[in-house]
Amino acid sequence: MEKMKAVQVPKAGAYFEIVEREIPQPGAEQVRIHVQACGICHSDVITTEGLLPGIAYPRVPSVSVFCVTSRKKRCNQLCC
């Protein structure tokens, strides 16, 4: 299976780390995105600090991305 790089928070209180993961296949109502740029927002920072209750780790943060979809259309923001 193909691999991708991702930035994740391995556990509460840890720094971001770059890891390799398998590329998941999108479901019927989903598209694969190729992220070209990504920002870190306040909720990402408090995720690293472990301040949000109920967060599962490891976690790949950020909903502020500039990307191209698997259908070759540009998107300026992805809201999860």
Please list the pLDDT of the chain residue by residue as tens digits (80 residues). Answer: 789 998 999 999 999 999 999 988 888 878 788 888 888 888 888 889 999 889 899 998 876 777 777 665 555 554 44
Residue 46 contacts residue 52 (beta carbons within 8 Å): yes
In a domain, 80, yes or no: no
AA identity, residue 61: P
Alpha-carbon 11 to chain mean position:
15
In a domain, 47, yes or no: yes
In a domain, 26, yes or no: yes
Q: Which domain holds residue 46?
A: 3-75
> What's the domain count of the chain?
1
* Full-model pTM: 0.69
- Of 43, 70, 69, 42, nearest to 55 by C-alpha is 43
